[in-house]
Amino acid sequence: MQVRVAYNAKHTASILRDSDRFYSSMAEKILARVRKERHGQAQLLDVGCGGGYLLREVVRHGSSVLKATHGLEISDMALREARRQSPQSRLVLGQGERLPYPQGHFDAVVCLGNLEHFMDPAAGARELARVCRRDGVAWILLPNSYYSGSLWRVILTGYGPNHHQVIDRFATINEWRDLLEANQLCVDSIEPYNRFKWWKRLLPRNLAYHFLYSASPSIGSHQENCALDLKVQGVQVDSTIQSGPLPADPPYGLHCLPPSDIP
Ligand SMILES: C[S@@+](CC[C@H](N)C(=O)[O-])C[C@H]1O[C@@H](n2cnc3c(N)ncnc32)[C@H](O)[C@@H]1O
């Protein structure tokens, strides 16, 4: 699969990752929620777990709270690093759009900085909802097209946002919320990502940050989800993989799998 090859090349150059501070604050947030509700019984899944840094932090701070931690990745290079970082976690090579787990299996599902890179984010969102328990929570980190750094980039270079990945998509705070809610997730809260940078508080919230969505599964009809067309801007496809099975025309429309294809 070409996306896997491209991500393997990226992870070989250097594992894509965030700061240790980010992973430990995210782990605290997850564990605070799970500790209250399902102490010792909770199952966690990190979809697009990369080098396993979040899994490592969650295990380090909450091994007694969790029954098991799972990670899924499209890149085997990233999974090798994840095995080093979090040897206790159960790791699987796979695609976020087709998760190999039963319905309602996880108390906490995490997808940080990945959904915007999926070939089919709508299917990815439905899969997050499917594998999450009804009383569970999914955390999804997504990039803001009008993030302050992106605005500076446009001012200085004339180019829009770019995270230099195989497929990049950007949307506003509410456009992403609409995508999640059209795909069986009910958004409970939206928090600014990277609040560590104090100067961002001087800017309007919708421009200063990328956003962390916390959501729970909602019940919705497949037909309704397919009917909704969503404006997600800035689809960029790496030219080296254009011959692959990628969506043809930006802006990205929803691609719905028939229900029987969803595992
Ligand atoms: C920006 S990295 C973030 C990694 C990790 N979530 C973290 O925060 O460290 C994006 C990750 O998504 C993975 N990815 C991209 N498309 C995917 C897909 N369709 N299914 C599963 N993983 C995918 C990539 O291999 C990469 O590791």
pLDDT tens for 13-22 read 889 999 999 9
pLDDT for residue 26: 95
Say if residue 229's pLDDT is above 90.
Answer: no
104 alpha carbon to ligand 1 midpoint, in Å? 22
Superfamily of domain 2-261 in CATH is Vaccinia Virus protein VP39 (3.40.50.150)
Q: pTM of the entire structure? A: 0.84
With contact defined as beta carbons under 8 Å apart, do 2 and 241 qualify?
Answer: yes
pLDDT for residue 233: 56
pLDDT tens for 239-248 read 443 333 333 3
Ligand 1 atom at shortest distance from the alpha carbon of 163? 1
Q: What is the mean pLDDT of residues 197-206?
A: 80
User: Could you tell me the two tokens for 26?
Assistant: 């995210």
Query: 146: pLDDT confidence band, cut at 50, 70 and 90?
Result: confident
Q: Which of 38-52, 92-106, 130-144, 145-159 has the lowest mean pLDDT?
A: 145-159
pLDDT for residue 61: 92
202 alpha carbon to ligand 1 midpoint, in Å? 31
pLDDT for residue 153: 87
Ligand 1 atom at shortest distance from the alpha carbon of 10? 25
Please name the residue whose Cα sits nearest to atom 16 of ligand 1: 118
pLDDT tens for 55-90 read 999 999 988 889 999 999 999 999 999 999 999 999
Looking at beta carbons, which pairs linking 1-7 to residues 24 or more positions away fall under 8 Å? Answer: 1/74, 1/244, 2/241, 2/243, 2/244, 3/74, 3/119, 3/166, 3/167, 3/241, 3/244, 4/74, 4/75, 4/76, 6/166, 6/238, 6/240, 6/241, 7/74, 7/75, 7/77, 7/78, 7/166
Alpha-carbon gap, residue 78 to 14, rounded angstroms = 10
pLDDT for residue 235: 57
Say if residue 260's pLDDT is above 50.
Answer: no
34 alpha carbon to ligand 1 midpoint, in Å? 24
Please name the residue whose Cα sits nearest to atom 8 of ligand 1: 112
Q: What is the mean pLDDT of residues 102-130?
A: 97
Alpha-carbon gap, residue 252 to 232, rounded angstroms = 6
pLDDT for residue 231: 52
- Higher-pLDDT residue of 221, 7: 7
Please, what's the b/e burial string for 47-66 (b: 16 or more CB within 10 A of its CB; e: otherwise)? bbbbbbbbbbbbbeebeebb
pLDDT for residue 249: 29
pLDDT tens for 163-183 read 888 899 999 999 999 999 999
Q: What is the dihedral of CA 32, 90, 194, 204, to 10 degrees?
A: -90
Say if residue 205's pLDDT is above 90.
Answer: no
> What are the φ/ψ torsions at residue 104 (nearest 5 degrees)?
65, 30
pLDDT for residue 239: 41
Ligand 1 atom at shortest distance from the alpha carbon of 16? 2
Residues flanking ligand 1, CB < 6 Å: 7, 16-18, 48-50, 53, 73-75, 78, 95-97, 112-114, 117-118
